[in-house]
Structure 1
Amino acid sequence: MKKYRGIFLKNEKEIGFMREANRIVATILDVLGENVRPGVKTLYFEELAQDLCRKHNVRPAFQGYGGFPFALCCSVNEEVVHGFPSERVLKEGDIVSFDMGVIYEGFYGDSARTYAVGEVPDETARLLKVTQESLMKGIEKALSGNNLYDISAAVQQHVENAGFQVVRRFVGHGIGRKLHEKPEIPNFVPFGLPGVPLRPGMVLAIEPMVTAGTYEVEVLSDNWTAVTKDRKLSAHFEHSVAITSDGPVILSQA
């Protein structure tokens, strides 16, 4: 594995392992999404995720990472990221974000999606749509020769043009043999920083977290769950993407 500016560049074989890791993650997220409905406890999704990891013979990437106690990050409504599965019951009109990772042959997969629970208000549906669109806008800029912050700018512009905000405190990241590798991938353009030219072999976990109100967040007393300060809704979508000479390749698709 080569290094460029402290960033690990993956070869074709390594990207193949990561493609399989991320395919498994996408498969798990598909099943979780099929089970989203009013009346379900969020702990049920943790049980599903654990069962599916055993079925696919992979290890959950998040469980034990920095002391995180679950396989699945499950965040409801104003919870931005790192939410705990619990006895909380989903209600009609809620939104729920699943962030899932696995380890396959020593390589990590990582992806996230936000689902509507039953029927949601139009503005809530628009938040989910804009967040997912912003992810795809970012991925379109994940081209060899572009600057890393071209991704950031595409996400930020799409979100803010729609009247929403991007979270500053949490950002995307490189991924490979470690869950979090260089570089960090903000969903906004930081002032005064040059960014990094993109090169084939980079694998990036791009993950916009978008809020209906303020982008400011706070972490609850469990030391993990991040919520919006104004308690307005937040959505989260993430793909792991390989930079290739032929353009970006989304690895986290079933």
Structure 2
Amino acid sequence: MPRNTSGHLVPGVIPPALAVPPGITRPEYVGKAAPRPFTGSDIYSAEAVDRIRESGKIAAGAVEAVGAAVAPGVTTAQLDHIAHEYMVSRGAYPSTLGYRGFPKSCCTSINEVICHGIPDDTVLEDGDIINIDITAFKNGMHGDLNKTFLVGTVSEDARNLVERTQEALNRGIKAVAPGRQVNVIGRAIESYAKRFGYGVVRDFTGHGVGEAFHSGLIIPHYDSAPQFDDVIEVGMVFTIEPMLTLGTHDWDQWADDWTVTTRDKSLTAQFEHTMVVTERGTEILTLP
């Protein structure tokens, strides 16, 4: 079982990538080292938002299907299989599969893994927490979200962290309004997280999404980020995805160039939605 003597995660065995039916359209980056630079706009028409919403709905359904299977004894590769089959059965491509070489159809990040955990033969244990991050691509658009689940009976600290991270996302969403700068989102999130002494991860952020998996627009989750001064506009589509920790916001990355863990191995949780800016705030596009 891929954990060390301290109970911390170590790399496991990654099964082969799952097949996608040939009739499902691939994003342009599949089979390439990197996506082409995005030169479009983060502001979308109502018709384009409808297509993002369809992809978001598929991704959200996949997250819920995977979450229903989360239990002690299940491997993250089994969870990836559920996510994959859910998306391809609805004509969607799993956006992570082949993105910059990522080998699986979703990200599964357990305990101290902040983000980008690769599904493998790791077995979930009672007391773990696991983040499931899924993006679906259909009709030329990506819809992206993630959610952290409890595995069996968890500690009070773990449960509180998960619940409060979800509330941090809610507060970030409520801070969105046309005319404000995107850095107001991080201000709302970190002011809430500071009440509990949580670390707020800085180097992995929300982003523009839709025609591109990551458009280049950065949505910070921490305060004191004046450099992120894009003005929020009606029709803008992006994700908010705060990552909070019980300890430091500093991180390390495994040799796989994907898996990111807290440097002090403290627990971390994350929640994410894709949304479009409206006259009154936002509409979440990643709901089942």
Fold in common (TM above 0.5): yes
Give the superposition deviation at 1:247: 2.1
Alignment partner, residue 212 of structure 1? 246
Q: Hey, what's the Cα distance between the residues in 2 that align with 1:146 and 1:66?
A: 33
Q: Deviations over 1:122-144 (max 9, x none)?
A: 11100001100000000001111
Aligned residue number for residue 224 of structure 1:
258
TM-score scaled by length of structure 1: 0.95
Contact 2:145 2:271 (C-alpha < 8 Å) held by counterparts = yes
* Equivalent position of 2:113 in the other structure: 79
The match for 2:227 is 193
What is the alpha-carbon distance in structure 2 between the residues aligned to residue 11 and residue 232 of structure 1?
42
Query: CA distance change for structure 1 residues 112 and 191 in 2, over 3 Å: closer, same or farther?
Result: closer
Query: Which whole-Å CA distance do the structure 1 matches of 2:206 and 2:228 have between them?
Result: 17
Distance 2:41 2:246 in 1: 33
2: CA distance, partners of 1:243 / 1:214: 32
Cα distance in 1 for partners of 2:41, 2:263 equals 33
Output the TM-score relative to the length of structure 2.
0.84
Confirm or deny that 1:13 pairs with 2:47.
Answer: yes
1:140 corresponds to which residue?
Answer: 174
**Which amino acid in 2 is paired with 1:157?**
S
Cα 1:12/1:217, change in 2 over 3 Å: same
- Cα drift, residue 221 of structure 1: 1.1
One-letter amino acid matched to 1:118: G
Gaps of 5+ in 2: 1-38
Q: Which residue of 1 aligns with 2:12?
A: none
Alignment RMSD: 1.3
Match of 1:163 in 2: 197
Provide, for residues 60-85 of structure 1, a one-character-per-residue CA deviation record: whole Å limited to 9, x for no partner.
10111111011110011001100011
Residue correspondence of structure 1 range 114-125 to structure 2 within 5 A: 114-125=148-159
| 2:287 alignment partner in structure 1 | 253
**SS of residue matched to 1:145:** coil
Match of 1:182 in 2: 216
Task: Give the Cα–Cα distance (whole angstroms) in 2 for the partners of residues 7 and 163 of structure 1.
Answer: 37
2-structure distance, mates of 1:221, 1:193: 31
1:163 deviation in Å? 1.4
1:182 counterpart SS class: coil
Give 1:7 shift: 4.2
Question: Within 1, Cα distance between the matches of 2:255 and 2:275?
Answer: 33
Q: Distance in 1 between matches of 2:143 and 2:279?
A: 21
Measure, in 1, the Cα distance between the counterparts of 2:255 and 2:183: 33
Question: SS where residue 98 of structure 1 aligns?
Answer: strand
Structure number with higher strand proportion? 1
State the 1:38 CA deviation: 0.6
**Contact 1:7/1:183 (<8 A) preserved:** no
Runs of 4+ aligned structure 1 residues displaced above 3 Å come to none
Output the CA distance in 1 between the equivalents of 2:231 and 2:104: 35
Q: How far does residue 206 in structure 1 lie from its aligned partner after superposition?
A: 0.6
Residues 1:191 and 1:246: Cα distance change in structure 2 (over 3 Å):
closer
Match of 2:135 in 1: 101
